Chains A and B, each alone.
Chain A
């Protein structure tokens, strides 16, 4: 057979390319991850009182505080809402099992899904920052490296949380249910209803130990120009390790 003349695609790249195409065929997923957080920012930013300096926020405007919140919202949408039903569905439909009978391990499929959802969340973050800057004059993060580090850790913790939900859910229905139950506390901790900076002291203290609470604090600090405090970064790292450890402990291929 003349296969030698055909250019060979590496299996992992072929899987990534395929999953990327399939991701593009889910407009709902794309909307909630990439578009919705920025739309929310635009709606909130259109409210005049959101554009006035607020003493309880240390002199910044609510719209300034909401940029990191929408960034985290994208992570939660991507890692927790969008990814687990896909992975659980792949297991439920026997797609992972079918792949186990080929020379390529089904882990490649999970890797591709995590990579795509992580990248989509980061795109959404960039869009949110850009629209915040252009439409509402929200300053770009003053400590870029610190912000990037906090951003990457936040993506990782969101993916690890999603992986654990996928591992624990036997069916797509269950993963949707768990996803929704975890969704609201995670949104609260990220500051969707009330930015972490505006929470009363004791509450803010507790929330700072949750994955997205710590991420909100770290992003806020880096946005203001400081290196994010190690305690917040540490909380993120520990959550990522614990969640991904648990996910790989309980994940079943079939």
Chain B
């Protein structure tokens, strides 16, 4: 919704990446990546480990100098205009820590002093449920508390965009869900979010649009629903037929993506059309389908389909 609003206003995208390339030791880790992020969007970068996700966002954060291509944040170059970009971009890095004996309050005060127009850290700490941990040293915080502190530090400069890299990795499911709610709150407060993740569920729940990256390139870029419907098998049905099915008849089913037989149970991947055709076929032959289950494919299925991880 926000996407269309900003498009209607004719504003340029907040983040523009085009033809981004980064080579390490002769290997292109990021190879011709292009995408844009609109203001107010939660944009996901999804991909298997080593796909180049982190390298790509590090170029957006100005931590790495691209070998080729163009990166702009609000029209600024993250490397050349480092000082301005760091004022409007808050980052949470993968595998970064703070001084072990620094307390939560000290960390918030310190990072607030880095910015020309910082947010008041007290309401921020309250929002991130850190108020009763203000006197606790970083080393004594739990994984979830550390991540919440890093979200607070990413927001303390009143940024227009935050980059969150594998934010929920290592969190228990409860803390992960809490963090998702926080990310939605952040977006609702008007901050654009660039989210790097390898959790399908997380991307599907949070992102307005997702770039699926594989081997340094964009394999697909769409809304979560768009990505799922793009996968070859968007619907999966399974049942146990009362009599064995004729293989030939199954093969002629429309839009069939996969057939699997196991212990008398048949699993078919395809579309709604496939499902209808199967039901018709069964009815015509007076076959009963026991324990019939029809489910939508998830982003998981789409992801495996798009990146080819499942095949290899």
Question: Which A positions have Cβ atoms within 8 angstroms of B?
Answer: 1-3, 6, 8-11, 13-15, 18, 21-22, 25-26, 90, 93-95, 97-98, 100-104
Inter-chain contact A102/B115, CB cutoff 8 Å: yes
Check A9 against B102 for contact (C-beta < 8 Å): no
**Restricting to B225-248, which residues have a CB under 8 Å from any CB of A?**
none
- Residues of B contacting A104 in the complex (Cβ-Cβ under 8 angstroms): 114
Name A98's closest neighbour in chain B (CB-CB). B96
A93 interface neighbour in B63, B91, B96, Cβ under 8 Å = B96
CB–CB A10/B120 < 8 A: no
**Within B81-140, which residues are at the interface with A (CB < 8 Å)?**
83, 86-87, 89-91, 93, 95-99, 101-102, 106, 109-111, 113-120
Given contacts A90-B99, A97-B63, A98-B93, A103 and B120 within 8 Å (CB-CB): no
B: contact size bracket: 20 to 34
Q: Which of A14, A25, A95 contacts B96 (CB 8 A)?
A: A95
- Chain B residues at the A interface, C-beta cutoff of 8 Å: 61-63, 83, 86-87, 89-91, 93, 95-99, 101-102, 106, 109-111, 113-120, 153, 157-158
Contact residue among B95, B99, B113 (Cβ-Cβ distance under 8 Å from A9): B113
Complex: chain A residue closest to B163, CB-CB: A101
- Summarize B's interface: helix, strand, loop or mixed: loop
The answer to whether A101 and B120 touch (CB under 8 A), given A93-B96, A95-B96, is no
Closest A-B pairs by Cβ, 6 of them: A94-B96, A14-B113, A101-B91, A93-B97, A102-B114, A98-B96
Which of B86, B114, B153 gathers the greatest number of chain A CB atoms within 10 Å?
B114
Q: What are 13 sample pairs from A and B whose C-beta atoms fall under 8 A apart? A: A1-B117, A6-B120, A11-B113, A18-B99, A21-B106, A22-B99, A25-B101, A93-B96, A93-B98, A94-B96, A98-B96, A98-B98, A103-B87
A1–B156 CA distance with the chains assembled, in angstroms: 12
Q: Among A22, A97, A103, point to the contact of B86 (Cβ < 8 A).
A: A103
Cβ contacts under 8 Å, B109 to chain A: 14
Residue of B nearest to A104 (CB): B114
Distance of A8 Cα from B120 Cα, bound (Å): 12
A1 lies within 8 A of B119 (CB): yes
B89 to chain A, nearest CB (A): 7
Cβ of A13: which chain B residues have Cβ within 8 Å of it? Answer: 113
Residues on B with beta carbons closer than 8 Å to the beta carbon of A15: 110
Q: Given the interface contacts A101-B63, A102-B115, does A18 sit within 8 Å of B106 by beta carbon? A: yes
Contacts of B61 in A (CB 8 A): 101
When the two chains form their complex, are residues B63 and A10 in contact, meaning their CB atoms are under 8 A apart?
A: no
> Which residue of the partner chain B has the closest CB to A109?
B99
Whether the pair A102, B98 counts as a contact (CB closer than 8 A) is: no
